């Protein structure tokens, strides 16, 4: 069941979820809340292996995402003039807002793109829209604000698109979980942010 704006606000009021900072009134719709783009981006690049084939195998027991990111990407920041997102480019970005979903709250969420960007060919998640119950929650730190959402962004359209820090980049939709999970999400991306892995 998708939460309405009224139910999202009620969940915020009882600390069943946190969005930090709390979005302004312009960010709200009937069933979603817009989130804004932070200034840091990670630009993936093709391997420069001097003729040697470079293959990444995520199913290999020794696979390390942070090592792959260090080898094949560069960290950049959106400047005052913005960042021009070229066609056929893949970026990682983050939201300014941090999300906290204690698993006992029986809430999960998903991140979806904005239709105005989608119509230009910008996607904000490749295949990972789910934000699991327990995301951004530290049981030993009740004051923890949560984690920003990492966005897998690509430009499949023909146009150069200027990204600006603070622009609405995605929307978050909250859903009720049927039953209380035995444990919260504790995957490698549960506590994340631009500084993680750098």
Enumerate the active-site residues: 152
| Joined tokens for residue 133 | 């119950």
- Picking from 92, 103, 115, 111, the residue whose alpha carbon sits closest to that of residue 39 is 92
- Picking from 172, 160, 44, the residue whose alpha carbon sits closest to that of residue 96 is 172
| Euclidean distance between CA atoms 177 and 107, whole angstroms | 5
| Euclidean distance between CA atoms 194 and 198, whole angstroms | 8
| Environment class of 166 (CB within 10 Å of its CB; exposed 0-12, middle 13-18, buried 19+) | exposed
């Amino acid at each position: 069941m998708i939460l309405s704006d009224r139910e999202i606000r009620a969940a915020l009021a009882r600390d069943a979820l946190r969005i930090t900072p709390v979005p302004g009134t312009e960010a709200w719709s009937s069933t979603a809340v817009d989130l804004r783009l932070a200034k840091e981006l990670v630009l993936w690049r093709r391997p420069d292996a001097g003729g040697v084939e470079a293959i990444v195998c995520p199913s290999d027991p020794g696979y390390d995402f942070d090592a792959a990111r260090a080898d094949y990407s560069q960290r950049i920041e959106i400047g005052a003039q913005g960042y021009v997102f070229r066609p056929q480019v893949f970026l990682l970005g983050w939201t300014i807002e941090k999300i906290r979903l204690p698993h006992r709250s029986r809430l999960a969420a998903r991140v979806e793109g904005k239709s105005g960007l989608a119509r230009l060919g910008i996607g904000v998640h490749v295949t990972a829209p789910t934000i699991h119950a327990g995301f951004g929650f530290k049981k030993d730190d009740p004051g923890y604000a949560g984690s920003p959402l990492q966005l897998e962004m690509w430009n499949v359209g023909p146009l150069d698109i200027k990204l600006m820090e603070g622009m609405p980049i995605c929307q978050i939709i909250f859903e009720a979980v049927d039953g209380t999970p035995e444990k919260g999400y504790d995957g490698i991306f549960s506590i994340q942010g631009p500084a993680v892995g750098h």
